[in-house]
């Protein structure tokens, strides 16, 4: 059946998943109980079967339901299902924690994006946006690892937890906690994709350094974040991985 929706509307499968998630977390569907059949869910939500299947797949990724030959069941209560769960591989932002003797330095700033990135972030030249900087100090003046993430106007509008940091640069220095960033994006109905290029360049981390340029977008093609990672070839590895 037809399912018209505006480009900015929340995808229907996310609405179905949200309603079922609420049933599961509020106990209206008890752990171990079989969920209604796909046909029943199609009639309940007035959507097609493909939408229902996408919603159930999302709940499986979140480990809220399990599917067997006999049907789909609410996951049994236990440590693995307590609290919010993300799809496999959806990790904290960022995961480069530094070395024991040189913990990472993290700060949040509010500054204009470089001219080459402003348009990509949906900003006019000179317009400020949120910037997350993550550095691991080295033995000298320059850091051995650095990641600079710039967030788009669209990301600040769509992710309430991120929007709270608007104007962060005018506040006293603090250590921001954005570890759940990708969970916030996921919860806002954004299905993330990333595109990255890897090369060798020059920057503050070393005379010669490895570089990663990463662009994170949602399912509609809106750019959410642009991150540039630089690290010395002999520095510790950098883990910064997720799936949508």
User: For residues 18 and 189, what is the distance between their CA atoms, to the nearest angstrom?
Assistant: 10
Instruction: Give pLDDT tens digits for 193-206.
Output: 888 788 776 655 54
Residue 238's nearest CA partner among 159, 143, 162 is 143
| Residues contacting residue 208 through CB under 8 Å, at least 6 positions apart | 200, 201, 202, 233
**For the ranges 3-17, 49-63, 100-114, 224-238, which has the lowest average pLDDT?**
3-17
Q: Which residue has the tokens 């809220």?
A: 64
69 band by pLDDT with thresholds 50, 70 and 90: confident
For residue 131, the cross-strand partners are: 109, 150
9 band by pLDDT with thresholds 50, 70 and 90: low
The whole-number pLDDT of residue 239 equals 57
As a whole number, the mean pLDDT across the chain is: 77
**Mean pLDDT (whole number) for 50-70:** 86
**For the ranges 13-17, 43-47, 117-121, 165-169, which has the lowest average pLDDT?**
165-169
Instruction: Give pLDDT tens digits for 73-121.
Output: 998 755 443 434 444 445 567 655 555 566 778 888 899 988 889 999 9
Give the predicted TM-score (pTM) of the model.
0.60
162-174 in b/e burial notation, b at 16+ Cβ within 10 A? beebeebeeeeee
User: For residues 146 and 164, what is the distance between their CA atoms, to the nearest angstrom?
Assistant: 24
pLDDT at 141 over 70: no
């Amino acid at each position: 059946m037809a399912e018209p929706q505006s480009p900015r509307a929340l995808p229907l499968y996310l609405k179905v998943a949200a309603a079922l998630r609420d049933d599961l977390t509020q106990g209206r569907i008890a752990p171990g109980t079989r969920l209604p059949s796909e046909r029943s869910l199609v009639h309940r939500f007035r959507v097609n079967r493909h939408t229902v299947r996408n919603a159930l797949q999302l709940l499986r990724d979140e480990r809220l339901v399990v599917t067997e030959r006999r049907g789909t069941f609410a996951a049994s209560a236990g440590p693995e299902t307590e609290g919010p769960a993300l799809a496999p591989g959806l990790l904290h932002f960022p995961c480069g924690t530094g070395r024991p003797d040189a913990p990472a330095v993290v700060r949040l700033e509010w500054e204009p994006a470089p001219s080459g990135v402003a348009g990509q972030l949906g900003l006019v030249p000179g317009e400020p946006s949120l910037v997350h900087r993550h550095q691991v100090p080295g033995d000298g003046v320059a850091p051995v690892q650095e990641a600079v993430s710039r967030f788009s106007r669209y990301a600040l509008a769509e992710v309430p937890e991120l929007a709270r940091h608007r104007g962060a640069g005018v506040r006293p220095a603090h250590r921001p906690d954005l570890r759940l960033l990708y969970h916030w994006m996921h919860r806002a109905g954004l299905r993330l994709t990333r595109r990255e290029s890897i090369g060798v360049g020059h920057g503050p981390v070393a005379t010669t350094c490895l570089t990663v340029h990463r662009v994170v977008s949602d399912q509609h093609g809106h750019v959410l974040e642009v991150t540039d990672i630089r690290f010395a070839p002999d520095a510790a590895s950098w883990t910064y991985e997720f799936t949508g």
